[in-house]
Structure 1
Amino acid sequence: MPTSESIESHAAVSPPHNGTHRLWWRDQGLRRLSPHLFVLLLGSFVCGYDGSVLNAAFGIEDFLKDMNDPDSNKQGLLSAAISLGYLIGFFPSSWAGDKWGRKWPQLAGSAIVVGACFMQVFAISGWKFFGARILIGFGAAFPLTLGSTHLFELAHPRQAAQMVTLFAAFYWIGAITAAWCTFGSTYMVSNWSWRLPSILQGVASAIQVVTLAWVPESPRWLCAQGRTEEAHRILSTYHANGDMDDELVQTEMAEITTALELEKKSSFGYLDFLRSGPNRHRLFICIWVGIIVQWVGNGIISYYLVPILESVGISGTVQQQGLNGGLQIFNLCVSIVGVVYIQHVPRRTMWLGSTVAMLVTYSMFTAASAVFERNGDPNAGRAAVAMIFLYNGCYDLSYSILYYSYVLEVLPYHMRTKGMALSLFFDYGLFFNQYVNPIAFNAIGYRYYYVYIGMICVSFFVIYFTFPETSGMTLEQAAAVLDGDAKTRIEIAGQVAAETVEDEVSDGEKALDINSVEVLGR
């Protein structure tokens, strides 16, 4: 596994000079870039909002009445509906992102979400609500699949990893907004106690509809379309305050064009994931990350917190909603800590350390739930609630914030949207997880948690033996780790950038060192 070699190779090459201030808020270009990045971050908001708002809605009597008093089977269907919509939308969003760019498909998807939210609000029956949620999931799949990719490809290199982990953290901002909106609406005496939080679900998408047209397109997508001068101008404007000859910008363009030149040798489809060892490794990582982010115990807590709290003796609606809101704030705070320190901690350390901590806290949560079920000890119930918070904190430090960034880091440009769509497909495609959770929980209680304890153990060994280290690299360098040529790509990019500056190419595009490209291709 090329983990230590990749780090040593990268460390041996000095970073290119860049004429931006180290503090982004004191740099004009980075300040201008920040509002665009914020718009892209909203793509994760809808997902987090939905998980929390429906969790809270199951504790509102008016909602249950309007949904015809759904049993555990119907509750599972209502929860899984949005995942079914995501499942339908991921592959079309990947195709649209490669064909028409990153931003316009996101805008179209957000418009669908806005319309579906209005349908959801006025769907006064279980099956109409179910259909509206499927449509929300379909539309939200576009900004979820393409937003993380667009963010990674547009952000300044020293901010890219933090921005994509912040994309994951915006899930919790959505969850917090939903939890506390629902907390306040529980005091309303009509069915607007659930309809108001439902309509607010479309606010973030409405902001995207209005603002995405002004967000710059991905420079990597522009280069892939032959629009290198436009890509160069965007990178220089936002990464170097308009300096077209900035060393970092030249290096970025060299890396992008070199990688794309290599990738032009053959078209890429989903079956190409199976045609080489490195690609099969990437495929496995995409699929496994998509699975484990839902199958390590977090899914049942995210969507069925109210029944869990009732199982440990917390049955008051206000108390349940307050704990739900407090948990989302806690999740956000821990995620922000992870975002701040992601550049200082190796990826494998974060994955493995978090998994061990999750195993300990989830086991203690299971034990406390078992004690409460057997003898009704209120102290055991309080201990179970405390373990829910600690477990979520451990989950947030890797599985939550690293999901998008790590998958994108191991994928080269031509595989990026397809790989992200595959990972999200296995994430949300396993929506039967949400469907079976209430049924299994009602049938066997805390014993159902043993399944997730086993999955956490499996996850540890899979991560240990298959996840490479990608910390401290640019997007192109990290993508080359599994091919074993990260160092060569860095050296070629530096050589091409230097030659470009010296020769002052008149048309503003980077000159490719074709001989170097051919060597790297071999």
Structure 2
Amino acid sequence: MMITNIYAITAIAVIGGSLFGFDLSSMSAILPTSQYRCYFNQGPNGPSLNGATHCSGPDPTVQGGITASMSGGSFIGALISGFVTDIFGRKSAIQMGSIIWIIGSILSCASQNIGMLILGRFLNGMCVGICSAQVPVYVGELAPHLRGLVMGAQQWAITWGILIMFFLSYGCSFLTGPVAFRLPWGLQIVPGIILFLGLLFTPESPRWLAKKDRWDECCHIITSVHANNHLDDGFIQMEIQQLKDACELERDKTDNTYLDLFRPHMIWRTHIIVFVQVWCQLTGINAILYYITYIFGMAGLSGSSNLVASSISSVINVVVTIPGLVFLDRIGRRPFLIGGSISLTIWWAVCAGLMGGYGNPAPPGGLNNIREQSWVITGAPAKVVIACSYLIVASFAPTWGPIEWVYPSELFPLRLRGKAAALSTASNWAVNFALSYFVPSAFVNINWKTYVIFAVFCFAMTLHVFFVFPETSGRTLEEVEDVFKGVKLAWKMGDNKLKDDEERTNDHELNRTKCDEALHIEDTSGSA
């Protein structure tokens, strides 16, 4: 039995996105626990308090490596996914990723030392790289008219993974011994199994099937998903014809490698899809989500109060993502990106000003013997820093969060779409790796100036989006090609879009009339 409801298909596929959320949140919640820090301790132990030993945990540089190992694996996974998806299909690539995830989670759960933990997280990262690159392509090719919703749903799945695993890890923090971190890492296996089994009942991407000249399967899936098997529907006929025309245009083109993404007619859009992911990481969102317990520790929170306050950011992430999914196709990509980066600039700048103006160096060794908490701020300014941290999450969640997965899969023709998404996502994970490795040491060495860096990045991305990023909402994947024909100013794309919409509406009516006439002729001849 094949599932044909696009929302059910999306719900299954975006479990691949939730895997990243599971991994990210488990590290965030587990990092400050004494069970984790004592088991992987590399520094001197602090004085006992109420019978509990305060361990320093891994060295900040080593901890950066542990955290970044997932991003390193994601970089590799994203790159290889371009080849895997073109050869085996979108759905099969995601299933392969889920198998890798299960193996990585087993190794993380059973890790006896830092090396084994890094290997497990690296494998988990390979899965996240594959899924984060190909899930948006898969659901976007199944639902070309609802791309903002279904492709952005991956980000919502990530936020749910963060929320679920954070509370699960928080509950496990009350357990004694290594089981406090082994149990949540072991439970990560469950969504990997669900993803693999669920995809057995979903269709392959019709556009990948068209690329392989499997037109019977392609047409069957399009009509099943969009028209309840009514092949004679005028708009379905038009969609299939558009797809055939696009495939015919690309049939004689042999360029289908990563190198072809950098040819003169593709380099401009390649730079856009790379930077949408690079800027997304430089918003600082993953620095907040990975290390929010460190940030709140600097603001005076510790123990359970720190974890509970940190969990609020996960709730905000889930709830505030919803408006982005609902309005992304109506309002467009550019307004969300620009509005999000402006607000992020403000909140990072406020945090930097408060930390620099009212904060002070922490005692030697950091607060509570956590070296990364090497700065301290108290009183009302500390509460504002906590509030601004929440606002950073709330500004990112409906804007850059969903669009980072939607935009890269929209800009390229079918023959290059899988590799373009792979390259874009690999860029995401390359920067994620650098930030994961850099942030713990940054908290120790430059303290509050870390906030200044992210504020500057957010301001720079505002300008880049305004001048360069075109609007793509309201067009099918085949029609997006028109955006890059001729010289168009990105900030005037709205005017062009209105004209294109009018032309497309007229074309749709004409094509529908032609389909109806053709069907009428067939019925007449059949009757005769």
State the TM-score bracket (shorter-chain normalisation). 0.7 to 0.9
Please say if residues 83 and 429 of structure 1, whose CA atoms lie closer than 8 Å, have aligned partners that are also in contact. yes
Native 8 Å contact 2:298 2:377 kept in 1? no
- Determine which of 197, 209, 221 is the counterpart of 1:234: 221
**What is the rounded CA distance, in whole Å, between the counterparts of 1:413 and 1:501 in structure 2?**
28
Amino acid at match of 1:364: V
Matches within 5 A, 1:85-100: 85-100=73-88
2:405 is aligned to 404
Structure 1 equivalent of residue 30 of structure 2 = 57
Q: Give the superposition deviation at 1:218.
A: 0.4
- Give, in angstroms, the shift of residue 368 of structure 1: 2.3
Q: Could you say which residue in structure 1 is the equivalent of 2:159?
A: 172
* Contact kept in structure 1, 2:273 and 2:407, CA below 8 Å: no
Give the structure 2 partner of residue 343 of structure 1. 329
Q: Which amino acid aligns with 1:373?
A: G
Distance 1:189 1:392 in 2: 32
CA distance in 2, matches of 1:376, 1:82: 31
Q: Is the 8 A contact 2:30 2:173 kept in 1?
A: no
Give me the TM-score of the superposition, normalised by structure 1: 0.86
Match for residue 314 of structure 2? 328
Matches within 5 A, 1:60-79: 60-68=33-41, 69-79=57-67
Distance of aligned partners of 1:165 and 1:483 in 2 relative to their CA distance in 1, 3 Å threshold: same
Structure 2 match to 1:38: 11
Using the alignment, how far apart are the partners of 1:505 and 1:404 within structure 2? Answer: 42
SS at match of 2:466: helix
Report whether the alignment pairs 1:101 with 2:89.
yes
Structure 1 residue 395 displacement after superposition: 1.3
Change (3 A) 1:241 1:30: farther
Query: Contact (CA 8 Å) 1:44, 1:171: kept in 2 or not?
Result: yes
TM-score normalised per structure 2: 0.86
| Aligned length, in residue pairs | 476
Contact 1:41–1:170 (Cα < 8 Å) also in 2: yes
- The 3 A distance-change label for structure 1 pair 502 and 451 is same
Q: Specify which of 126, 138, 146 is matched with residue 138 of structure 1.
A: 126
- Displacement, 1:149? 0.5
Task: Between 362-371 and 68-77, report the one with greater CA deviation.
Answer: 362-371
What residue is the counterpart of 2:459 in the other structure? Answer: 457
Q: CA RMSD in A?
A: 2.3
In 1: Cα distance, 2:205 partner to 2:160 partner: 25
Per-residue CA distance 1:220-262 (angstroms, 9 max, x = gap): 0111111112111111112111100112211211121111111
Output the CA distance in 2 between the equivalents of 1:282 and 1:505.
43
Aligned counterparts of 2:450 and 2:507: Cα–Cα separation in 1: 53
Deviates more, 1:381-390 or 1:190-199: 190-199
Q: Aligned residues: percent identity?
A: 24
1:254–1:493 Cα contact (<8 Å) kept: no
Looking at structure 2, the residues matched to 483 and 199 of structure 1 have their Cα atoms a distance apart, in angstroms, of 50
Higher RCO by CA contacts (8 Å cutoff, separation 6 or greater): 1
Instruction: Say if 2:275 is the partner of 1:275.
Output: no
Against the structure 1 CA distance between its residues 425 and 481, is the aligned structure 2 distance closer, same or farther, given a 3 Å change threshold? same
* 1:445 alignment partner, SS class: coil
* Aligned partners of 2:17 and 2:155 also within 8 Å: yes
Instruction: Report the Cα offset of residue 143 of structure 1.
Output: 2.1
Listed one character per residue, the Cα deviations across residues 175-214 of structure 1 (whole Å, up to 9, x for unaligned) are 0011100111111122211111111222221101112121
> Is the Cα–Cα contact under 8 Å of residues 82 and 422 in structure 2 kept in the other structure?
yes
- Per-residue deviation, residues 8-35 of structure 1 (Å, max 9, x unmatched): xxxxxxxxxxxxxxxxxxxxx9973432
For residues 210-229 of structure 1, what are the structure 2 equivalents within 5 Å?
A: 210-229=197-216
Residue aligning to 1:119: 107
Which ranges in structure 2 are unaligned for 5 or more consecutive residues? Answer: 42-56, 361-375, 487-495, 523-528
- Partner of 2:200, secondary structure, is helix
Q: 2:261–2:270: 8 Å Cα contact kept in structure 1?
A: yes
1:200 to 174, 187, 193: 187
Structure 1: give runs of 5+ residues left out of the alignment. 1-28, 508-522
Contact 2:151 2:406 in 1 (8 A): yes
2:38 is aligned with what amino acid?
Answer: K
Secondary structure (helix, strand or coil) at the match of 1:187 reads coil
Q: 1:475 aligns with which of 477, 492, 495?
A: 477
Give the counterpart letter for 1:460 in structure 2: T
Structure 1 residues 45 and 451: CA distance shift in structure 2, 3 A = same
**Structure 2 SS opposite 1:304:** helix
The alignment partner of 2:203 has SS state of coil
The answer as to whether partners of 2:234 and 2:511 remain within 8 angstroms in 1 is no
Give 1:117's aligned amino acid.
Answer: S
Distance 1:323 1:35 in 2: 33
Cα distance, 1:505 vs structure 2: 12
- State how far apart, in whole Å, the 2-side matches of 1:409 and 1:41 are: 18
Alignment CA distance shift 1:379-1:232 (3 Å)? same
Q: Which moved more, 1:42-51 or 1:489-498?
A: 489-498
Distance 1:205-1:453 versus aligned 2 partners, 3 A rule: same
The worse-fitting range, judged by mean Cα deviation, of 475-484 and 240-249 is 475-484
